[in-house]
Chains A and B, each alone.
Chain A
Amino acid sequence: MKSVLKPLLILFGILSGLYIVLFVVFFFDLDGKALFYGVEPFLKNHYDRMKRKDPLDMEYRTDTEKYEY
């Protein structure tokens, strides 16, 4: 009985701890702060430096089909 209860208690303890940690993250807007100060600047930097195809190099065909039914 004890051997069954113990892992359950540990699991309960871990989940409770996680729940509390998540609540702290939620309440103090730590997710927002991490995204604002960490993730977004990193991604923005990545997007700004990304090599992009220049769409203006694309051909401009004037012999496209006429769609009429």
Chain B
Amino acid sequence: MSKPTVNTKAFLGRAKKIASDFWNGKPHEERRLGDLYCDKTGLYKHREWRGVKDTMYYFNNIWLYNYAHMIGDMVKYSGPKGPVVFLKGVWRYRWLGQTYLPVMHWFDRGLEGMRGETLRASAWHYRAMVSETIRQFMRMLDADQKTGGSKELYDKTIAHDETVWGGIFYPWRDRMDDVPLQMIPYFVTCHVNNHVVLNYIDAAQSIGLPGDPCPMCQAEAGIFLQDDVPEYYPIVITSNEACDGSVGTSVLQDWMMNRPLFAMPQPMQFDDPLVQEHCAKEIEECWKFIEEQTGEPFSWDELKKHLERQNKLQEFEWEKWEVAANTDYYPINGVAQALYRIYQSQDGDRDIWHETDARVKKILEKCVEKKINTFPKTRHRMIAWSCAPLYYSHWCTWAYNCWGLNCVINMDSLMFNMTIRTDTYEHTLQDMALYHEWAPMRRMAVGGMHHIFELWEYMEKFHCDMVMMYDQLQCKGMQGVHGLFEDEFRARNIHAIWMPHALPDKRTVSRSEIRGIINDYMTTIMHEEPLDPTLLEFDDSEGW
């Protein structure tokens, strides 16, 4: 037998490499993920090949599984008529039609480049959010008087501001349901299809509202102005959280809703022990309002049961933080961590969170046990602080793939850092008041001057060496402390990237501009080379 020539060697080497890339997927630096995009649209020429095992996992357990469950969940939550109810909703409501269908692309964007256990654990988080979203909008549609929903269900559904914690309604969970007004039509849509919300922002401005208030509040008002909110509720509970804009929006929404409304504002100075009693009484008054309006009595047993279940969710969250903070084995990527946690902690106890946590716990334990480095290309461990851009919540997936920036934890995740005592009614009420006051975007952002700077403690706790400092341009609370952060970053010699954005409105700062800012920082200040240069610049301006 003759010795192989140089050409044959090269050929064999190449064949081996191709086979390896096929079987295992390409190494991170060779992936060229940017080449997969169709220009402007964010669509893929083809979806990423992640190796046989992960590609088939993605196809079977994520893509097929979720498409099937998107239909299955309609039936699960709404019975056999579910798909018909859903289609009627799609025909009637823009936020539903334009958002629900491209949901798998939302998975794609968040899970790009993920492999192995990271892919699995993160995908389960996404799956839970989709399922809970379906549950909420099916309840809206089932009770919706605009599309022929059931009057009986209408009478048994309470609407509330999305910043009112779902736990407030636990005492009635066995007989009634509560659905936030803006969580699906506004919050979720921004993540899945960022074009939709622009209609609502423009609608708000079309009646003379200036462009400078928080665009989230504008959008929430715009949904009502576009007559795009299902009529699924006889009564409403509102909140002042998280900011002046939310209060302002309430005035406009109240006009459009025109039905009994109970305002349940939270005290602003939530660190003051004197405010707790007042807040607890507000919660009790809200309960009395619900009893009076619906005729359904308050149930302590229901409240206790759900709070105890919610505490389990919090306990697991602490386990997750422990692993994220102290090891390289945390299998949940930045966007899945942030969205799942804010969704779950605000929504409260629902079965899907428990099912998901059980699945993720197994993966987490496996990673720890086998010491699986879940983000092996990590160059910097980042903490994201302040309010995130909803239209680019998956920036962290991009940042890891392009630069090795691993967003380990974020502010929203850390806000509700407590369990609730259930030993006595008084303790429960005290803790519920505090939990309620730590509303999203308040405890460590808009209102929490004393807590804003907990950033430094959490940086240390989670062993982070960089900060992604969200700079919501229309958030008066966070703009109002901009200089203090600048001073602190300089004094502490911390690498912080300011990410300007306008929460849901991509027109103010585009995704591409955000990437440009990070690229500039990484090259000019950090003097680093990208892991995947094809991701540096691409146009996804028309993408979902």
Contact = CB atoms under 8 A, between A and B. Distances in A.
Do A's and B's CB atoms come within 8 Å in the complex? yes
Contact of B289 (A31, A35, A59, A67): A67
B532 to A, nearest CB: 19
A6 interface: no
Contacts of B104: 31-32
Interface string B52-73: 0000000100011000000000
A32 B288 contact: no
A26 B59 contact: yes
B260 A65 contact: yes
Interface in B137-153: none
Interface in A45-68: 46-47, 52-56, 58-61, 65, 67-68
Nearest to A42: B97
B256 interface: yes
B43 A33 contact: yes
Given A43-B97, A44-B98, A32 B256 contact: no
B256 A28 contact: no
A32 B102 contact: yes
Given A35-B105, A55-B256, 13 more contacts: A27-B47, A29-B45, A31-B104, A32-B44, A36-B544, A39-B101, A40-B98, A43-B90, A47-B97, A54-B227, A58-B258, A68-B285, A69-B292
A23 B97 CA distance: 25
B262 interface: yes
Interface residues of A, number: 30
Contacts of B63: 26
A58 B255 contact: yes
Contacts of A40: 98, 101-102
Residue of A32, A33, A43, A54 contacting most chain B CB atoms (<10 Å): A32
B167 to A, nearest CB: 20
B175 interface: no
Contacts of A33: 43
A46 B227 contact: no
A22 interface: yes
Interface in B79-105: 90-91, 94, 97-98, 101-102, 104-105
Interface of A: 22-23, 26-29, 31-33, 35-36, 39-40, 43-44, 46-47, 52-56, 58-61, 65, 67-69
B102 A58 contact: no
B377 to A, nearest CB: 25
A4 to B, nearest CB: 28
B41 interface: yes
B226 interface: yes
Contacts of A23: 59
Contacts of B98: 40, 43-44, 47
B274 interface: no
B1 interface: no
Nearest to B258: A58
Contacts of A46: 91, 97
Contacts of A59: 258
Interface in B243-298: 255-256, 258, 260-262, 284-285, 288-289, 292
A69 B41 contact: no
Given A36-B102, A67-B262, A69-B289, A56 B43 contact: no
B525 interface: no
Given A26-B63, A43-B90, A35 B226 contact: no
B207 interface: yes
Contacts of A55: 224-225, 227, 255-256
A28 B46 contact: yes
